Structure 1
Amino acid sequence: MRSKYASLFLILVSFASCASIKKSAIRSLADMLSSPDGAGVFTSDDDPKLIADSMPLALKLYEILLSYDPDNAGLAASTGRNFVMYSGAFVQMPADMLSDEHWREGVAARRRAKKLYRRGRDYLLQSLELRHEGFLHALESGDYDEAMMRLEKEDALSAYWGGLAWLGMAVTDPLDMELSTSLDKALLLLYRAMELEETNPGIHSVMIQIQLSLPSALILTMRERSPNTAAYMDQYYRDVGVSEEARKRAFYHYYRALSLSKNQDPGPHITMATAVSVKEQDAEGFKDYLEKALAIEPDADPETRLMVILYQGRAQWLLENIESFFLDIH
């Protein structure tokens, strides 16, 4: 894989020095890389180290293409998603698993992860602006309902990854107060993504974290600034018969994520272990969730093979370090 991207990279560099390069050729290559098949090159692989080593070169390839075709909304979205995936899987996650004696490396890695999340978020927001001129102005000026009204079903994935990147920035730097005051926009994107494509299992995993880990005041702020989103939330939970209690909503999203993924996604189990079991100091529940994550067969769904392997590595690390999360385990 690395040689494939290296070849493409060299071709583009040589093309860049040739005045006869045609935008149609760039667009064809961009469309190939931003297609589901292009993304599948990463997500279906069974060798995390190979992908970790290959992705930086691939990311720069995406950026070179985007510089030649800046109005390509699909390419901007794909570039953003890949930056977010790389930051989460290969920068933040390894940093979170470093031992205490490597805290300096952890701090540096989280700082890098935040920058990569920001770059990914900005490309995703750029893609939404390219599809809907005026979206960014409405979002930044606080006209949340106007901004969200512009988004359509085809924008659900970009809204989801954009919100995810925004939250990722906050997780890697919780002391950034300026960033924390903008997180209502991240929630707004995520709830709009759920409204547009509720069958995305990933959105429900994120909702577990939102219900249990984010300050309720942040959700209230978002609701006040976006009456349409508040109305959607209220109607959604009424329709599925779930009360306003955050814990009940978290469990609802957990089971919804498992149902939609056909129990092939370890993410919801890991989220419940860290967001529920640790908070409640339930060591047995913690182990049960993580064992369920580890029981999933990575090859059951080739399209998600890589993420299953990565999440299972995280689950195994959590089990091996269980004493770090529970007071009564030594």
Structure 2
Amino acid sequence: MKKGFPALSAFCRVCLCTALTGLIAGCTLTKHIALDSLSDSLAGADKRGRAAKIKRAENSLMPVLTGEEDAVLMGDFFPTVLKLYEIIAAQNPRHQGLSVMTGSLYVMYANVFVQAPAERLDASQYDLQAEEQKRAKLHYLRGASYALRALELRYPGLSAALDEGNLEDTLQFVERFKKSDVPAAYWAGAGRLGAFSADPLDMERLKTLPCTAALLERAAELDPDYNEGAIWDILTAFYALAPAEFGGNIERAEFTNAESFRASKGKSPSPYITYATSFCVPNQDAEGFKENLKKALAFDIESDPANRLALVIAQKKAAWLLAHGDDFFIEWE
């Protein structure tokens, strides 16, 4: 045996390796626990998609975002939020709550900060409008894919059924949904319908519309009052404006719109805006259009401080629609 640091016997080497393995495993376990804890906090839901219990309201991140009044500030900040969530989601891909939250943020970004501004561009900016609608579609689909990741973990094969437009298989999956699946189903459906609204000439996506509607219908059945009627609101726009051969149904739209008003309990301007665009414009009811948009504008943004951002954005849309009524009606005064 050489002098200096003593040679390790076989027994010592085994003991040391065992100890190091345990240490590494312990560090990995600690990392996963910390990552799950961070993911729970960012998502407001746990790794199985169940709403997380937050002891104090100030511990929740979302009111800081949704309670903001400055929509421009949020528009500038949103990409940073998106990439933050996406980075964490990449480190914790099986955390269902985080997948759904990441998906919801992408869908909101696509709708509020990409598609809505694109729709307000002047006709002379057609090329820019087309490019922004393309971006909106990209982010809608990315959001939907994140929400579907959570559902796919629970119901393997659902994504393929949706993409194939296989209504029979889709219905077999959604019939197994539980109330805890509603957030994922809503954001997946909203993202997929949003992508179609940004590119209505996408024939591959057109054939999947009935399957997406089935996803949302099941969510509405399980939780009719979810997010103050948000599911009914998006179904109203779909049934009122989609081609009949791909699921459009004006009678169903009237029912879902009534449910949207009921579930919102007068707290959201969205049902008024949806009614104005989905019913008044096709029927050329200019007075009804004005009446409903004015009701949307009458909401006090301080009536719901936690949702100031949504109220501000909705009223911005209502104001723009009123100012451009002559773009939608033959007779407009």
Pair in the same fold by TM > 0.5: yes
Q: CA deviation at 1:33?
A: 0.7
What's the CA shift for 1:210? 2.5
Q: CA contact under 8 A between 1:124 and 1:161: conserved in structure 2?
A: yes
> For the residues of structure 2 that align with 1:69 and 1:250, how far apart are their CA atoms?
39
Matches within 5 A, 1:200-279: 200=226, 201-219=229-247, 246-279=249-282
**Match of 1:96?**
119
Partner of 1:30: 39
Determine whether 1:319 maps to 2:330: no
Contact persistence 1:135–1:150 (CA under 8 A) = no
8 A contact 1:44–1:305 mirrored in 2: yes
| Residue equivalent to 2:147 | 124
Q: Give secondary structure in 1 for the equivalent of 2:61.
A: helix
Alpha-carbon distance between aligned partners in 2 of 1:254 and 1:119, rounded to the nearest angstrom = 28
Q: How many residue pairs end up in the alignment?
A: 287
- Structure possessing the higher radius of gyration over alpha carbons: 2
- Structure 2 residue matching 1:150: 3-state secondary structure: coil
Which residue in the other structure is 1:186 paired with? 212
Q: C-alpha root-mean-square deviation of aligned residues, in Å?
A: 2.0
Q: Which amino acid aligns with 1:205?
A: D
Q: 1:150 offset after TM fit, Å?
A: 3.0
Query: Which position in structure 2 is the counterpart of 1:308?
Result: 311
SS in 2 for 1:310: helix
TM-score normalised by L of structure 1:
0.82
2:145 maps to a residue whose letter is D
Q: Secondary structure at the match of 1:46?
A: coil
1:22 counterpart SS class: helix
Residues 131-158 of structure 1: per-residue CA shift (max 9 Å, x gap)? 3344435555631232113321001111
Large movers: runs of 4+ above 6 Å: none
Write the mapping of 1:109-148 to structure 2, written as runs, cut at 5 A.
Answer: 109-137=132-160, 139=162, 142=166, 143-148=169-174
Q: Report the equivalent of 1:5.
A: none
Residue 266 of structure 1, CA deviation:
1.2
The superposition leaves residues 116-141 of structure 1 with CA deviations (integer Å, 9 ceiling, x where unpaired) of 00100100110111233444355556
1:317 CA drift (Å):
0.4
Note if contact 2:100-2:184 (Cα within 8 Å) is conserved in structure 1. yes
2:175 aligns to what SS in structure 1?
helix
Aligned counterparts, 1:50-89, within 5 A:
50-89=73-112
> In 2, Cα distance between the equivalents of 1:41 and 1:134?
37
